[in-house]
Structure 1
Amino acid sequence: MILKLVPSLWSFQISQNYRHPGIDNVKSVPHFSSINIKSKSNSNRKVIVCGLRKSYAKKPPSRVLSKEAIQVIHSLKLAKSDEKLDQVLNSSLTRLLKVDVLDLLAELQRQKNSHLCLKVFNFIREEPGYNTLLSLYSDMILLHGRNKNIDMAEELFSDATGKGLKPDTRMYTEMIGAYIRAGQMEKAIEIYRSMKASGCSPDRLTFMILIRNLERIGEQELAATLKEECYEYVEFPNKFIKEVEQKQSGKKDKSQSHNKISGGR
């Protein structure tokens, strides 16, 4: 349908995704509408976009902390002693829904507050519904690994397996990363072999961590062996190995350029 403003000069063409109160036979498309303006004296066409831009398209909702979870986080941070922390955990944390407790723990991890993370985890690890969550154990192993607290990482891994839980690819990979950060490459290889023996398949991240760090410490032969094993577990192994080599060479180039700059000062 065309609505003419000035017959001799302009015509307004209403596209199918525009809806006017007086027009019932035009379809409406949510979040976007446009009016095409065409001048008879000029072949150029201008487009006026009405409504929401594409960048403002509706996004899937993200998880937001509840007011109760935020209040507990504030209370935990204000507690200056372990005794007060225990009081907050016993009086406030037990009142939260399970989903709020998990969101609270994820927020503390995002803030890299390892002390409170461990307090909350140790409090809920024996609670029904939490003690079988592999993801919680993997998160805590990652946290301990970053802090090079390998003893606690090993304890958590043993605790999970002692409860009859079967470690998944992520838990094994986090344990490998923890050993590498602690400078224990032999144990990292040992846990990798245990991973395969248990029937759990390593993924791209597992191989990436191991190969790059083996090459970094000069274990070229072992790194080559792992590259061969990629063909059994990784999709498009040739492409993956090429990516690993490019990242490794990029790191070397950065290191060499940094050394040149440092030497020239």
Structure 2
Amino acid sequence: MQTNMGSSSLRIQYLPTALDPIRIHKIQVRYATTITCGLRKPLRARRRSDGVLSTEAIQAVQSLKLAARNPSKLDQVFESKLTRLLKDDLLDAFSELQRQQHLDLALKVFEFMRKEAWYEPDQSLYGDLMLMFGKKKLIITVENLFCELIKEGLKPNTRVYTELIGAYLKVEMIERAMEAYKLMKASGCVPDELTLTIMIRNFESAGEEELASIIKNDCVEYLDSPKKFLKEVARKYFYAIDMNHAITLHNPFAIKSFFSEEIETEPGLKLRKASHM
């Protein structure tokens, strides 16, 4: 997998049709339609209950970091250290490398784990990596992870789609983010509050009020209390936070104008569309 993003104007030339909705649909059609959805969580709690890594896991992490710049030494570490680790220790080392922001090493360990006899495709492992690489704006790697997940027989869940969308928004690829959102809905996967929040706030920040309004209207379909949710979004996200996707928002003193224009939705319910702040 490539780990260099290239320029900010990058498009998907390096992954021809990788995210084409028709192609993805054909890949997914043989998988179960049940979707497991949930809010993004921090890196998987792979540590033992006491939160302390084993000596073997610590030594493996240290050895990998020391050998990182020497391919031959790095291969030796994998052969001498990682092959001896138990499953839990290997997962601990994987999580620790992510925590320390050694993402290239974490990715190599992940590729190593996929060859182990005990390995089973896990959406959470992919989601963790997509989150970390997305924050670093390494969009090529995020897309590759998304495609590899599908090749392994998994159907992307809400968390995975949200990480893909968030990565696109991080590099201001608005159209790609919207395409991924449409693909998410077409696959039968339901957006959650995190998905909707990230999209609303980033679209507003980018001045894409029309797209933000589309997402707000979708809240009626996907949330039990859409009006309450939108008020919370306006109240809580007036500064750079957006759940690990930092963005620059509008003047917080203009939040009162968030609900300025009514949107007709289902009978008996009216939402208001945000005006330009």
**What TM-score do you get using the length of structure 2 for normalisation?**
0.66
TM-superposed deviation, 1:221: 1.6
Does 2:250 correspond to 1:252? Answer: yes
Residue type of the partner of 2:81? S
Residue type of the partner of 2:63? S
Q: Distance in 2 between matches of 1:117 and 1:234?
A: 36
Higher strand share: 1
* Distance change >3 Å, CA 159–CA 238, structure 1 → 2: same
TM-superposed deviation, 1:161: 0.6
Report matched runs for 1:105-254 at 5 Å.
105-250=94-239, 251-253=249-251
| Paired position in structure 1 for 2:61 | 73
Query: CA-to-partner distance for each residue in 1:19-45, whole Å, 9 max, x for gaps?
Result: xxxxxxxxxxxxxxxxxxxxxxxxxxx
TM-superposed deviation, 1:207: 0.5
Residue type of the partner of 1:232? E
Work out whether residues 124 and 131 of structure 1, in 8 Å CA contact, stay in contact via their aligned partners in 2.
Answer: no
Residue type of the partner of 1:253? N
| Paired position in structure 1 for 2:52 | 64
Q: For the pair shown, which has the larger CA radius of gyration, 1 or 2?
A: 1
Give the aligned length: 197
* Distance change >3 Å, CA 193–CA 146, structure 1 → 2: same
**What TM-score do you get using the length of structure 1 for normalisation?**
0.69
Q: Distance in 1 between matches of 2:251 and 2:235?
A: 10
Query: CA-to-partner distance for each residue in 1:216-262, whole Å, 9 max, x for gaps?
Result: 11111221121111122224222211111224545433699xxxxxx
TM-superposed deviation, 1:128: 3.5
Give the CA RMSD over aligned residues: 2.1
Q: Distance in 2 between matches of 1:90 and 1:231?
A: 54
TM-superposed deviation, 1:195: 0.8
Secondary structure of 2:101's counterpart equals: coil
Q: Distance in 1 between matches of 2:76 and 2:233?
A: 49
By relative contact order (CA 8 Å, sep 6+), the higher-ranking structure is: 2
Q: Distance in 2 between matches of 1:225 and 1:161?
A: 28
| Paired position in structure 1 for 2:6 | none
Structure 1 unaligned residues grouped into runs of 5+: 1-59, 257-265
Work out whether residues 220 and 226 of structure 2, in 8 Å CA contact, stay in contact via their aligned partners in 1.
Answer: yes
2:85 corresponds, among 96, 115, 123, to: 96
Q: Distance in 2 between matches of 1:154 and 1:119?
A: 17
Q: Distance in 2 between matches of 1:131 and 1:208?
A: 31
Identity, % of aligned positions: 51
Residue type of the partner of 1:155? N
TM-superposed deviation, 1:125: 2.7
Residue type of the partner of 2:86? L
